[in-house]
Structure 1
Amino acid sequence: MNLFPCTLVYVDVDASPGPNSTNRDPLSYVSQAICLNNSLRQVGMPTLTIMTNAPALVAQRLDSMKTEHRPALVTLNATIELPKNTPFYAAHFKLDLMDQMADSLPTDTMLLLLDADMVALLPLERNLIERCAEAGIGAFDISDQVFPPYGSEQVVADLEIVAGKRLRNPRWYGGEFLLATPAALRRLVPRARASYARYISESGRVKHHGDEAFISAALNALVDEGQGLIEVGAYQAVGRHWPGNNYRDMRWFRCCSFVHLPGGKALLEKEARFAEFAPDRFWRRMRVAHLRGRVRHAVKRIARLLSVERLATWSAYAVRSVKS
């Protein structure tokens, strides 16, 4: 089974930037995709394809690169319409991307849909690829990162609202990684279109926004109907890393095939300036960013504690003043 690595770069200068994006350059995601493609080349994986609604603009950003080092470009047939201030606006168009790929991929090729703000550190294990090919879909279950902070009751409610039905075992899937055969995509896309329609019509009730909401709902519904799905996070196919977060030991990420850095976009854009991806250099910079994040987290915790202490002191003083 062959792989078709692909990422979405949707360009719209009038749309709100992603919540995790600090670079206001609408083509900053192209730089991230360049870094991702360089890392794919470094581990011997196929060239990345950028699917975009603005191929001419993206091509200009790639002009300075050697032809053999450039990502491929494909024009996205965008059909989705939604308010441009929608959180994660651009990510919604992954549904159009999957729809387009379902009808264009050869039967012996799986779509490997990746977010641009990722790097490849190791090739995907052949055994995992074969298992995903047999099941039809490989997805990244991040329920343990989503349920606790938002509350399982709220997350499950959102999934079932968008799915339009009760789900047997609701799970939340990260949008940064999806591995799917063309046949599985042709089953997933119509279900995801229906979930998307409910997601839009019920936007006032749903607390979570973005492609993960309606794609997760569709995947859950398909699994309930017997669709095979391999949870790739258990195989360390992908890990999601936030600078300073202690969710995982840093050494765990070193063994992942892909690392997603939603809070490390600037790091990836700097790495894109190099003609070749150097894992050791990247890893050193990632560790530095992580340590800085740890310091920021510690400072914020101390500031919160001091605020609580000041409030308690002021309250005690107010009570004494009233009594006197």
Structure 2
Amino acid sequence: MNLFPCTLVYVDADASPGPNSTNRDPLSYVDQAICLNNSLRRAGMPALTIMTNAPALVDKRLETIPREKRPAVTPLTATIKLPKNTPFYAAHFKLDLMDQVAGSLPADTMMLLLDADMVAFLPLDRDLIARCAQAGLGVFDISDQVFPAYGSERVVADLEIVAGRRLGNPRWYGGEFMLATPASLRRLVPRARASYARYLSESGRLKHHGDESFISATLNALADEGQVLIEVGAYQAVGRHWAGNNYRDLRWFRCCSFVHLPGSKGLLEKEARFAEFAPDRFWRHMRVAHLRGRVRHALKRIARTLSVERLASLSAYALRGVKS
């Protein structure tokens, strides 16, 4: 089974930037994709294809890179309509990407959909690829991160609103990674468009917005109907890392095939300036960013503690004044 690594770069200067983006250049995602492509080549995987609504702009950004080292660029036919102030606006167009890929991939090739703000450290395990090919879908379950952060009751409620039904075992799937055969995409996309329509009409009731909401709802519904989903995170195919977060030991990520760095896009953009990806160099920078993040987290905790103690002291002082 062959792989078709692809990423979405949707360019719209009038739309709200992603919540995790600090670079206001709408083409900064191209720089991240350059780093991802370099890391794919270094890991011995196929080159990346950037699917975009602005191919001329993306090609212009890539023109200084030797042609044999560039990611490919494919025009995206965008059909989705939604308010431009919607959180994670650009990510919604992954549904159009999946639709387009479903109709163009040969039967012996799997879509490997990746977010641009990722890096490849190791090739994907061949046995895992075979399992995903047999099942049709390999997905990244991040329920253990999302449920505690927002409350399982709220997350499940959102999933069931978007799915339009009660779900047997609701799970939340990360949008940064998906392995899918063309046949599974042809089953997934029409169902996802129906979920998207409910997501759009019920957006005022939802806590969560973005492609993860309606794609997760669709995957849950398909799983209830017997679709096997291979959970790739358990195989360390991918990990989502936030600098300074102690959710996992940093060393765990060193053994992942892919690492998603939604809060460290600047690291990827800096790495893209090098002609070749160097895993050890990038790992050092990633480790430094993590340690700095730990310091920031510690200082914030101290500040919160001092604020609470200060507030308690002021309240006690005020009460003494009232009693006197």
The TM-score bracket by the shorter chain reads: over 0.9
Residue 168 of structure 1 aligns to a residue whose secondary structure is coil
Q: CA deviation digits over 1:172-199, x for unaligned, max 9? A: 0000000000000000001100000000
Q: Is 1:96 paired with 2:96? A: yes
d(CA) in 2 for partners of 1:73, 1:149: 37
Structure 1 residue 314, shift from structure 2 partner? 0.5
Q: How many residues align?
A: 324
Residue 82 of structure 1 aligns to a residue whose secondary structure is coil
Which residue does the alignment assign to 2:263?
263
Q: CA deviation digits over 1:240-273, x for unaligned, max 9? A: 0000000010110000000000001000000000
d(CA) in 2 for partners of 1:129, 1:20: 30
- Structure 1: gaps of 5 or more residues: none
d(CA) in 2 for partners of 1:164, 1:8: 27
Structure 1 residue 231, shift from structure 2 partner? 0.2
1:170-249 equivalence runs, <5 A: 170-249=170-249
d(CA) in 2 for partners of 1:83, 1:46: 35
Aligned AA (2:278): A
1:231-310 equivalence runs, <5 A: 231-310=231-310
d(CA) in 2 for partners of 1:139, 1:84: 28
Aligned AA (1:94): K
Q: CA RMSD in A?
A: 0.3
Structure 1 residue 228, shift from structure 2 partner? 1.3
Structure 1 residue 149, shift from structure 2 partner? 1.1
Which residue does the alignment assign to 2:70?
70
Which residue does the alignment assign to 1:152?
152
Q: CA deviation digits over 1:69-96, x for unaligned, max 9? A: 0000000000000000000000000000
- Which TM-score applies when normalising by structure 1? 1.00
Which residue does the alignment assign to 1:113?
113
Which residue does the alignment assign to 2:122?
122
d(CA) in 2 for partners of 1:210, 1:198: 13
- Structure 2: gaps of 5 or more residues: none
d(CA) in 2 for partners of 1:211, 1:291: 31
Aligned AA (1:5): P
Residue 204 of structure 2 aligns to a residue whose secondary structure is coil
Q: CA deviation digits over 1:1-46, x for unaligned, max 9? A: 0000000000000000000000000100000000000000001000
Residue 275 of structure 1 aligns to a residue whose secondary structure is coil
- Which TM-score applies when normalising by structure 2? 1.00
